[in-house]
């Protein structure tokens, strides 16, 4: 692959919502990689 699009999306969600987002990302053919991280509250 020679081209890519990168997105940074900041959102608040419960743990169950994150699991649902990741399961949907896995089945999308046009998504090669993704990373969900938890941001600790300051």
DSSP letter (8 states) at residue 3? -
Q: Which domain holds residue 1?
A: 1-42
Instruction: Answer for the pair 36, 21: CB distance below 8 angstroms, yes or no.
Output: yes
- Confidence check: pLDDT of 2 > 90: no
SS3 percent helix, strand, coil of the chain, rounded to 5, is 30, 0, 70
Q: What does the pLDDT average to over 8-17? A: 90
pLDDT of 23: 94
Q: How many domains does the chain have?
A: 1
Q: What does the pLDDT average to over 4-23? A: 91
d(CA 6, CA 13): 21
């Amino acid at each position: 692959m020679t081209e890519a699009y990168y997105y940074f999306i900041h959102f608040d969600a419960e743990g169950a919502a994150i699991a649902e987002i990741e399961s949907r990302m896995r089945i999308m053919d046009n998504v090669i990689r993704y990373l969900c991280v938890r941001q600790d509250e300051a």
